């Protein structure tokens, strides 16, 4: 009894593209630690939001106990859960 040793060439189909591939993938928000006490925070790429969206983001963060440095796009919280809520809301 002989084994079948014939190999077949596998072909891969291209992945489906959704939308414009040159379009940005989404807002850029990165998690960071802020200040000497290493508070949990985020740095936001403000260029990816309209001024109205950024103003709403700042208001939401301040209402939820964040320290906000608007000119740098930095937000920080004493509570990591509030930072996570920010990430869920704005990313």
| CA dist., res. 40 & res. 42, Å (int) | 7
pLDDT in tens, 29-51: 888 887 787 888 899 988 888 99
Backbone phi, psi, residue 59, to 5°: -60, -45
Which pTM value belongs to this model?
0.64
Q: What is the mean pLDDT of the chain?
A: 75
């Amino acid at each position: 009894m002989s084994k079948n040793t014939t190999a077949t060439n596998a072909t891969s189909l291209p992945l489906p593209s959704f939308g414009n591939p040159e379009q940005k993938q989404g807002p850029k928000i990165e998690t960071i630690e802020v200040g000497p006490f290493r508070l949990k925070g985020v740095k936001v790429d403000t260029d990816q939001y309209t001024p109205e969206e950024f103003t709403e983001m700042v208001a939401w963060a301040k209402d939820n106990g964040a320290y906000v440095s608007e000119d740098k796009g930095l937000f920080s919280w004493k509570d990591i859960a509030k930072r996570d809520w920010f990430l869920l809301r704005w990313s």
